Structure 1
Amino acid sequence: MAQSKKLEAWQSGPVDGVPALLQPVAHALLQAREEVHTLMEGFPEELLWEQPAGVASVGFHLQHLKGVIERLFTYARGEQLSEEQLSNLRAEGKPADDKAYPVQDLVRNFDRQVDQALEQLRRTDEASLTDFRGVGRAQLPSTVLGLLFHAAEHTMRHVGQLLVTIKVLQRKEQA
């Protein structure tokens, strides 16, 4: 009897309520969430902030995954970043002195951000996708679609980097 291989998010059909043109963004975010859960299962807390060969830590990637989605989706709404978002950006990659960041808390924070992003995708009018959106203080030119697509692409890029960092750390632990 052949084992059935789990389908990737994009192979599972449309995401309910998400406009057709935004399905690739939704699928990438759902795929990222699934891969993060798989990668972080049983990950040892003591390795969370290790930086093998000077690369970004697993903790950084988990914080950044949440943060990049939040920031780019904020710009896609036509808003600027809040002071709290800017503070969180500056804190990425640094364990807080006043509180611990257990692995599962970081994963849950990412999950919540993906859920919020999916809700925003459901509320996004396809007619607005080419609307101008200025990014940051310099108001760098983008569009709603450009920001949403970049959020998905950037998220998947960091999931790949997270995978490599975890593999290096696991190899180091085995040595």
Structure 2
Amino acid sequence: MGDNKPEVWLRGKVAGVPNLLQPVAHALLQSMEEIEKYTQGFPEELLWKMSSGRASVGFHLQHLTGVVDRMLSYAKAEKLSEAQFAYLKNEGNSNEDISMKILVQNFRKKVEEAVVFLKNTPEDILTENRPVGRKALPSSVIGLLFHVAEHSQRHVGQVLVTVSFLKENREI
């Protein structure tokens, strides 16, 4: 990814993704590129550092992956598995066995999985109802996919701010 490339949404259609789902693919791919850029050279010892009571970079990376995974399950009309609940419960718990590289790779793999899902999602099911969570709150396929796009962008912004702050202030 060069810095002179336009943002993903300005590079044209993502091959195979239905027209109505192009913004979701663009947002997820942009999130992936930005996470790779913003975490490059970030000190490993700051991965789980919380600053001013805010979440760590490690949390945001785990959460990004987890949200994409959970929203895809709901979009497929599946309930979350015990493994997904365990993952959710452990988001943000520092784990010295998990490196920045692994967290970024996990997010990349989940985004790639999401793009495959998008390619296989017919536009005519986008308004179908999909219950969310244990309370089965109402949503739709398009609602879930839009949420994963905007939610990933929100957390990428938080990663940028946290990385910048911690690197500048070297809060160790």
TM bucket, shorter chain: over 0.9
TM-score (norm: length of structure 1): 0.94
Unaligned ranges ≥5, structure 1: none
2:42·2:167 contact (CA, 8 Å) conserved in 1? no
Identify the residue that residue 111 of structure 1 maps to in structure 2.
108
Instruction: Give the letter aligned to residue 37 of structure 1.
Output: E
2:50–2:56 Cα contact (<8 Å) kept: yes
Alignment of 1:96-175 (within 5 A): 96=95, 100-173=97-170
Partner in structure 2 of residue 63 of structure 1: 62
Q: TM-score, normalised by structure 2?
A: 0.96
> Could you say which residue in structure 1 is the equivalent of 2:6?
7
Cα distance in structure 2, aligned partners of 1:157 and 1:136: 21
Aligned to 2:40: 41
Moved more, 165-174 or 153-162: 165-174
Instruction: Give the letter for the 2:128 counterpart.
Output: D
Residue aligning to 2:93: 94
Paired with 1:68 and 1:5, the residues of 2 have a C-alpha distance of 30
**Equivalent AA in structure 2 for residue 160 of structure 1:** G
Give me the identity figure in percent.
Answer: 53
- Over 4 Å off, 4+ runs: none
One-letter code aligned to 1:9: V
In the TM superposition, residue 5 of structure 1 has moved relative to its aligned partner by 2.8
Cα deviation for residue 170 of structure 1 reads: 1.2
Return 5+ residue gaps in structure 2 as ranges. Answer: none
C-alpha RMSD over aligned residues: 1.2
